[in-house]
Amino acid sequence: MRKIIFNAGPAVLPEIVLAQASEGILNVNNEGISIAEISHRSQLFKSILEETLHLIRELGAIGTDHEVILMQGGARLQFAQIPMNFLSKESKAGFIDTGYWAHKAMEYAAYYGQTDIIASSQEKQYRHIPNTLDFKSTKGYAYIHLTSNNTIYGTQFHQIPVVESPLIIDMSSDVFSRVMDYSKIEFAYACAQKNIGPAGLSIAIVKKEFLARAHTQLPPVFSYQLLAAKKSNYYTPPVLATYISLLNLRWLKAQGGVSAIEALNAQKAKALYAEIDRNTLFENHVQTEDRSLMNVCFTMSLSDLEQQFITFCEKHNIIGIKGHKVTGGIRASIYNAQTMDNVQQLIQVMQAFEEKCINK
Ligand SMILES: *Cc1c(COP(=O)(O)O)cnc(C)c1O
């Protein structure tokens, strides 16, 4: 039986996408060859890549002012590649520190240039998103970096702040989960393994004007300008991961696209938070208006109970709800591919667990 998967990433994919992917593994497009065997220079792969880039544009309503780049590797590689391209020892990048990943992006940038914290919610254990009124001046930076959804702490920017320097956003855990105005963003990026497809690739959506500012004296594999010019087919792209991502993006389009999935995501999160707030055993510590619609983090009064709850879930076929090691607790990731039915199953198990504890 297929499990109910709440993993933070790599995360659940639609079952139909997995079925199509397994067909492609054996015989892609009935061409008598596996997707894992085709050349990245073949017409077939070129068309797969083109359609993937096209769908990213279409789903994100991304205009001609932006380039879309597909790359090997995950978000941490981008943490390094971004400052390699856009920062120097003479310039400074500003960071909005909303927790683990936001902080990591800053640590990586520090190898290449100066860094500065514009705002932070560290003092309150990252349980909220910093208010723009508390931001330091955002002028004069090579770029300002923020993390739109904080996968580990369960917080999310529900409004993207306006800043006075180029804006770079790590959207790894909420890309295409909601409608976003990319015209206001110089550089958005995401690793694939939360909302796009399997692990192994990242996407970047870069304003051409900003791309023109990138350093060019770089090993070509790191140069965004070169990768864009080569239409994301310079080195061997992650062919299989790209193909499965394409299947998943087609699936997203068939669901009605980003605005339709956004409405569904809101319903899933609402139902789950309502249960956490109602249930006497569970608590969510995030400031209500900053709660993430993607990663629902919660705790129990006794950490002993948390382990019992996780085991209880496993008995009911639910996996992947243990919180990240830096925060502990419980985390249910409800990305695009998570169904409302699965969320309802989790809610029922939470209720059954409450009942069991009370009647003991
Ligand atoms: C998962 C995640 C990362 C790390 O991604 P890797 O591909 O493992 O490097 C970075 N930022 C955010 C917001 C994430 O959710």
Contact 344, 274 (CB under 8 A): no
Is residue 333 predicted with pLDDT exceeding 80? yes
Q: pLDDT at position 358, please?
A: 86
Q: How far is the CA of 149 from the centre of ligand 1 (A)?
A: 10
Confidence grade of residue 301 (pLDDT, cut at 50, 70, 90): confident
Q: How far is the CA of 163 from the centre of ligand 1 (A)?
A: 23
Query: Is the beta carbon of 60 within 6 A of some atom in ligand 1?
Result: no
Q: How far is the CA of 152 from the centre of ligand 1 (A)?
A: 10
Is residue 311 predicted with pLDDT exceeding 80? yes
Confidence grade of residue 302 (pLDDT, cut at 50, 70, 90): confident
Atom of ligand 1 nearest to the CA of 74: 7
| From 173, 175, 331, 334, mutation site for ligand 1 pocket: most ligand atoms within 8 A of C-beta | 173
305-314 contacts at long range (C-beta below 8 A, 24 or more positions apart): 305/281, 305/357, 306/330, 308/353, 309/281, 309/350, 309/353, 312/349, 312/352, 312/353, 312/356, 313/346, 313/349
Q: Residue range 22-43: average pLDDT?
A: 97
Work out the percent of the chain whose per-residue pLDDT is above 70: 100
Confidence grade of residue 143 (pLDDT, cut at 50, 70, 90): very high
Atom of ligand 1 nearest to the CA of 191: 7
| From 76, 95, 196, 292, mutation site for ligand 1 pocket: most ligand atoms within 8 A of C-beta | 76
Tokens 């709800």 locate to 321
Work out the percent of the chain whose per-residue pLDDT is above 90: 98
Q: Residue range 305-319: average pLDDT?
A: 97
Q: Which residues, other chains included, contact 220 with Cβ-Cβ below 8 Å and sequence gap of 6+?
A: 226, 234
Query: Which residue's alpha carbon is nearest to atom 4 within ligand 1?
Result: 75
Task: Look up residue 186 and give its two tokens.
Answer: 């110089």
Task: Report DSSP state, residue 329.
Answer: S
Q: Which residues, other chains included, contact 37 with Cβ-Cβ below 8 Å and sequence gap of 6+?
A: none
Confidence grade of residue 130 (pLDDT, cut at 50, 70, 90): very high
Q: Residue range 321-336: average pLDDT?
A: 96
Q: How far is the CA of 105 from the centre of ligand 1 (A)?
A: 10
Query: Is the beta carbon of 172 within 6 A of some atom in ligand 1?
Result: yes
Q: Which residues, other chains included, contact 6 with Cβ-Cβ below 8 Å and sequence gap of 6+?
A: 12, 318, 319, 320, 321, 331, 332, 333, 334, 338, 342, 346
Q: Residue range 339-348: average pLDDT?
A: 98
Contact 64, 181 (CB under 8 A): no
Atom of ligand 1 nearest to the CA of 199: 7
232-275 pLDDT, tens per residue? 999 999 999 999 999 999 999 999 999 999 999 999 999 999 99
Q: pLDDT at position 267, please?
A: 98
* Least confident interval from 94-103, 184-193, 301-310: 301-310
